[in-house]
Amino acid sequence: MVLIALSAAPLRAQYNKSYFFWMGREHIIENRYREAIRSLNVLLNVDHEAYEGYLLRGIAKYNLEDLLGADADFSRAIDINPVYTMAYQYRAITRARLGNYEDALRDFEEAVSLRPEQSGIYYSRGVTLLLSGQFEKAAADFDTFIHYDPRVADAYINRGLCYLSMKDTLRAEADFDKAIRTNRESPDGYNRRGNLHMTRGQNLLALEDFNSAIKCDTTYAPSYFNRALALNRLKRPGEALRDFDHVLQLDSTSSVTYFNRAIVRTQVGDLNRALDDYNRVAMYSPDNVLVYFNRALLYTRLKQPRAAIDDYSRAIELYPDFAAAYINRSELKRQTGDIRGAKSDLNTAQQKIAEYRSRLWDSTRVSEFADTSRRFNRLLSFDTKLTARRLVDGQEDSNISLLPLFKFTMRDSVTSPVIVARKQYNVPAIDSLTERLGGHPYTFANSESDIAADSLVRLSRELAAIPSDDYCHLFRLGVAQSLVRQYTSSVGTFSTLIELYPADPFLYINRSTVRAEMTDFISSISQGYGRITVESDPAKRLHNTSTRSYDYDEAIADLNKAAKLMPDVAYIYYNRGNLQAISGRLPEAFDDYSRAIELNPDFAEAYYNRGLVQIYMKDTRKGCLDVSKAGELGIAQAYRVLNLYAAPEHN
């Protein structure tokens, strides 16, 4: 659900406040949510009581999947204006998305008491009641909404789903009919009615509806998917396969489509290509037992018993009580001469079945263990989630790491693509040193240099060829050496400077970053090192892939010295927090990031990294709140993390 503020009272304030309010509103209408947050931040920094501004910023955060941040902004709007109906309604929608149905329904109740004539509240509450399983109450809310506005097809579809959940298929079908009459150009009504026809075995009627849905929108993948299911039921597998192919042209990452296509390909004897599909599903969904069980059955047909045994073993690892997998593996072990293993598996399966039977009133259900084709070789619906992986911006998300260290470096571009903190937080001594070094391209940032490597090598050689103990000359040399990975030489250069100027904190900061980068480089060569990252698979959560530890103590010692010389510079604590985190000392990292934020309340990178550390320490809610704050302050990748962790798992 996308939130858009349709109306809001004008601010009674100065012109500049009104400007940023309306700019934020326009950005939201144009789906430019990050720009909206930036504009609204200006307003809210000037006027902390602008409750409409908090509402709009909450809407922008909601649409960026920052649900916790949206909840906080809607709550702030309500604190300022306790009778602000829109804030209650939007907070309720947000809390429903978070799975907090109880609080969501309380907010809807408050909104209804304030504005009982506002029809949209009943629609939103109806959706929440439907999601929380309160079907009769949900249907009543959709009744009320339809009374106010009978022209919204989705209201009939949702009420039909309520009736369907209450086993009243006649009223459900009547509502799906109304949805189609209300909006004949939408595929949704046809798809819902077609699915209902399929549940009744009326596959030809279902096929007609899915054909109509495709005519409405030839780019809507579920329509082709549903038609493929109907065609397969009608014993037309070739046409079903063509529809599955079309779904994958529209969405090449649809695991459930590969899974279903594999089943149909197996049915028609196209075993090798079915195996290709199962391999793709296993790549996308490595923790799903269905994939390995079905692929094991296929390997058995392909006369590859060892591969089948491996897949059954993986299925058992994921589901230790999987009696059918033990039975099938037992038979394969017997065929390959492992008689002892076969007996062990068979005994285990019988024990599992006996345990299962003892927990059932109906002993006939034990047959489910043997009837594997009925349980596992059936086509799944489009709504089935085979995988816990999520996609961000159309691509599978890669690991999300801590934002990097700050240091004096060289960049050709005027602005860094990563640095956000410097926009709000300037240290005069840093600016002064940058000017002493000659200004552009020297800068203090936490991003990679964008200067060509050959230019950096040439500069490093030219500086090294000039004998000098001048501070700026040696500093430039140390920076250039670090950028071309001459780490030992760079550490030596900064050490020489430290001997000459032992009270200069910036020398320790840069030597620390060089030492840390040298450690990273060495460890990457040995291939035994891993940073703290967020897996693209939320089921795996954060992990530390390190199999051996690397020593950052010297780099941390340099930062300890810098902190004593200049205790009020937030960057020092931020950098030390990073090194503590990748050394595995997470509580210490948390403390350092907190100190950095205390010194600079707008330190976006520190909020982001502290959030990741808290998620790793299993305090996901507080971690997401920190990441949300980082997104609010300008860290774009914050919304990738929130998309993985802020919303509840539905997979």
CA 420 to chain centre: 22
pLDDT in tens, 560-591: 999 999 999 999 999 999 999 988 888 999 99
Considering only CA atoms, which of 610, 646, 629, 630 is closest in space to residue 65? 646
> Given this model, what pLDDT does residue 414 score?
54
Alpha helices (H) in 437-504, listed in sequence order: 453-464, 471-483, 487-500
Helix, strand, or coil (residue 524): helix
Asked whether the beta carbons of 524 and 518 are under 8 A apart, the reply is no
CB neighbour list of residue 201: distance below 8 Å, 6 or more residues apart: none
pLDDT in tens, 384-442: 555 433 222 223 334 568 899 999 999 887 554 445 554 557 789 999 999 999 988 99
Alpha helices (H) in 268-418, listed in sequence order: 271-284, 289-301, 305-318, 323-335, 339-358, 372-376
Structure tokens at 13: 């304030």
Structure tokens at 478: 């140390």
Asked whether the beta carbons of 616 and 586 are under 8 A apart, the reply is yes
Residue with tokens 């033990």: 326
pLDDT in tens, 151-174: 999 999 999 999 999 999 999 999
Q: How far apart are CA 594 and CA 224, in angstroms?
A: 52
Lowest average pLDDT, out of 47-61, 345-359, 514-528, goes to 514-528
Report the 10 Å Cβ neighbour count for 454: 9
CB neighbour list of residue 59: distance below 8 Å, 6 or more residues apart: 3, 4, 5, 28, 70, 90
Tell me the mean pLDDT in the region 352-365: 59
Q: How far apart are CA 552 and CA 44, in angstroms?
A: 41
| Domains contained in the chain, CATH given | 15-216 (1.25.40.10), 253-387 (1.25.40.10), 400-645 (1.25.40.10)
Asked whether the beta carbons of 514 and 482 are under 8 A apart, the reply is yes
> Residue 304: is its pLDDT beyond 50?
yes
CB contact burial 561-579 (16+ within 10 A = b; e otherwise): bbbebbeebbbbbbbbbbb
pLDDT in tens, 233-248: 999 999 999 999 999 9
CB neighbour list of residue 253: distance below 8 Å, 6 or more residues apart: 284, 391, 396
pLDDT averaged over every residue in the chain: 84
Q: How far apart are CA 178 and CA 193, in angstroms?
A: 11
Q: How far apart are CA 588 and CA 594, in angstroms?
A: 10
Asked whether the beta carbons of 224 and 213 are under 8 A apart, the reply is no
Asked whether the beta carbons of 11 and 21 are under 8 A apart, the reply is yes
Helix, strand, or coil (residue 551): coil
The DSSP letter of residue 543 is E
> Given this model, what pLDDT does residue 375 score?
46
Helix, strand, or coil (residue 544): strand
Which pLDDT band holds residue 535 (cuts at 50, 70, 90)? very low
The pTM for the full model equals 0.66
Tell me the mean pLDDT in the region 180-209: 95
